[in-house]
Chain A
Amino acid sequence: MLRVNSALSSSEASVTATAVPAVRFDGASLRYGPTTVLAPLEFAVERGTRVAVIGPSGAGKTTLLRLIAGAAAPSTGSVELLGRDVASLRPGRELARLVGMIAQQFDLVPNLSVLHNVLAGRLGEWGFGRSLLSLVWPSDQRLAFDALERVGVTHLAHQRAARLSGGEQQRVAIARVLVQRPTVVLADEPVASLDPARAREVVRLLTDVTEEQGETLVASIHSIDLAREFFDRIVGLRNGVVQFDVPAFSIRDRMLEELYEIEGLRSEV
């Protein structure tokens, strides 16, 4: 086990004692029957930071994100968003104001226009009548176009989402989270289906726009290079256990080798 929580302890010292972390795991774990997907975890993310979660497939990265999103309930302990227990938040508007999510792909409604897909990020705020009306005369268009401009796809506003390439779709998904304006943005393998060049652009965009809006970003990602380049902090997860949690600049090849090591091959390494 490497210097667990070293980044946390060093950064906490620089923040005032009253600052509430954006995300906090208080001994939260997740088990399905006898299988431990995520071991009890103590973990906090300050507001406005960008955290990359890396690790081999099945390490529990998605589970970690799902616990933050309130999509899964912890078996033990609790998860807090801005000091509030996620389990106590009502699904819908209340949760949507605190946390938003970008998935790997297949996340947009294919037969709706890009503009409508982006405006879907406002659905938590709109009443029923306004939502219905917006299918014909979209409300909050200014907001949606601002978001599309920031992700660089304004020209696609009236295209159907199904006609877009994978990279364009992820940009639209980012624009949707931008209009939702949650405190914490989660991204589950946001660039897994893109080629390296496009993946880099999308990750750059994701980290830039969340930084501009002062949002906190927690993303699971396969590319260590992208994690190093664009994130403040890297958490290594293996078999549901945090192997390391360090500032991005201080990650070492040795940590990565141990993180991705295939079981049974350990002796040969």
Chain B
Amino acid sequence: MARPRAIESRRAITLILFAAFALSLAGVDWSDGVFRPRGVGAIADTLGALFRPDLSPDLLRTAAAAAWQTLVYAVAGLTVALLIAIPLGVVASGTIARSRLGAVTQIGSARAVLAFFRAIHELVWALLLVAAIGLSPMAAVLALGIPYGGILGRIYSELLQDVPQAPLDALRRSGASEWRVFLFGRLPMALPDMVSYTFYRLECGIRSAAVLGWVGLGGLGFQVQIALEDLAYSRVWTFLWVLVVMVVLVDLWSSQVRRRLAP
């Protein structure tokens, strides 16, 4: 019996990929070792410090200040992201358009802008903005806010489109225009998912804000960078643990809010 073509070609592709992987192994120069000299030692040092973070009061004070700065960047960045994502996401959903043509135009143009915002990574935005604005908190906040606005706006537009239609039709039958259908139907139905995704993005924002330290914008990332240069792994882990704690706290907060929003 003949197998469907799709399955045949999928097997062929799997085979080719395995072959490519096997061939690529031959390309590695094994004689010299995979790690650089003392590289294994560095890994051992790094992991060894994992459970021996430096907990001296001075360093903890530094860590707390850096964490606060990172949190402020993340929250302010997400605020900017919301200012971009809410209006553009609503327009990109095409749900408030009065005509089909209007909907197509709105979806197309708003999506293009959102795609431009998120196609460029926050670190690249940071480099561009530091060049333009200088090493100021404004650069950090915008560097986070612009790409995150692009991501959130895209997700919002999809969540607003994918709500159950029956309640919306009922609202239309009671005489509501599309804007009112949006306010009393779409938005309430999409809101729990929108909030939940926004919290997830806040979590990501804290990680991203930390990394912004590498371009000189301060915060936890900056401290990690200094500690790494000093090869002080236990200090590195102090800052990384603080980052982990912050992310876990945001996660707890978000599940609290989600429970309250659940229908």
Q: Are A120 and B171 in contact (CB under 8 A)?
A: yes
Contact B167 A109, beta carbon cutoff 8 Å: yes
Q: Answer yes or no: A174 CB below 8 A from chain B CBs.
A: no
Q: What's the least CB distance linking B49 to chain A, in Å?
A: 47
> A100-B173, A101-B173, A108-B167 are contacts. A131–B188 as well, Cβ < 8 Å?
no
Chain A interface, number of residues (Cβ within 8 angstroms): 39
Q: Does B226 contact A (CB under 8 A)?
A: no
State in angstroms the CA–CA spacing of A132 and B185 once bound together. Answer: 12
Proximity string of chain A (33-70) to chain B, C-beta cutoff 8 Å, 1 when within and 0 when not: 00000000000000000000000000000000000010
The residue that A162 contacts in the complex, of B166, B184, B263, with Cβ under 8 A, is: B263
Say how far B67's CB is from chain A's closest CB, in angstroms.
35
Q: Does B53 contact A (CB under 8 A)?
A: no
Q: Does B170 contact A (CB under 8 A)?
A: yes
By DSSP majority rule, is chain B's interface helix, strand, loop, or mixed? helix
A107 lies within 8 A of B170 (CB): yes
Q: Flag B227-263 by CB within 8 Å of A: 1 or 0 each.
A: 0000000000000000000000000000000000101
Known: A109-B185, A135-B183. A92 touches B177 (CB 8 A): yes
Q: Is A21 an interface residue when CB atoms closer than 8 A count as contact? A: no
* Chain B residue at minimal CB-CB distance from A105: B166
**Which residue of chain A lies nearest to B167 when distances are taken between CB atoms in the complex?**
A109
Taking CB atoms and an 8 Å cut-off, the chain B residues in 135-177 that contact chain A are: 164, 166-167, 170-177
Residue pair A176, B184 in contact (C-beta under 8 Å) = no
Choose from B170, B173, B191 the contact partner of A111 (Cβ within 8 Å).
Answer: B191
Residue of chain A at shortest CB distance from B185? A109
Find chain B residues with CB under 8 A from A107 CB: 166-167, 170
Q: Provide the bound-state CA to CA distance between A125 and B175, in Å.
A: 8
- The answer, yes or no, to whether B68 is at the interface (CB within 8 Å) is no
Find out whether the CB atom of B174 lies under 8 angstroms from the CB atom of A176: yes
Shortest A185–chain B CB gap in Å is 11
User: Is the pair B170, A108 in contact by a Cβ cutoff of 8 Å?
Assistant: yes
With beta carbons under 8 angstroms apart, the residue of B184, B189, B191, B261 that contacts A123 is: B184
- A96 part of interface (Cβ distance < 8 Å): yes
For residue A32, CB closer than 8 A to chain B, the reply is: no
CB of A7 to closest CB in B, whole Å = 28
* Cβ of A103 under 8 Å from chain B: yes
Q: Within 8 Å CB of A100, what residues of B? A: 173-174
Which of B175, B180, B263 is close to A180, meaning CB atoms less than 8 Å apart?
B175
A135 to B185, CA, bound (A): 11
Contact of A95 with B175 in the complex, beta carbons under 8 Å? yes
Within the complex, the shortest CB–CB distance from A56 to chain B, in Å, comes to 24
| Interchain CA distance A69-B169 in the complex, whole Å | 12
Judge whether A110 and B263 touch: CB under 8 Å: yes
Say yes or no: is A209 at the interface (Cβ < 8 Å to chain B): no
A109 to B94, CA, bound (A): 20
- Contacts A92-B177, A112-B188, A131-B184 aside, 7 further interface pairs with beta carbons under 8 A come to A101-B170, A107-B166, A120-B184, A123-B171, A131-B179, A162-B263, A176-B174
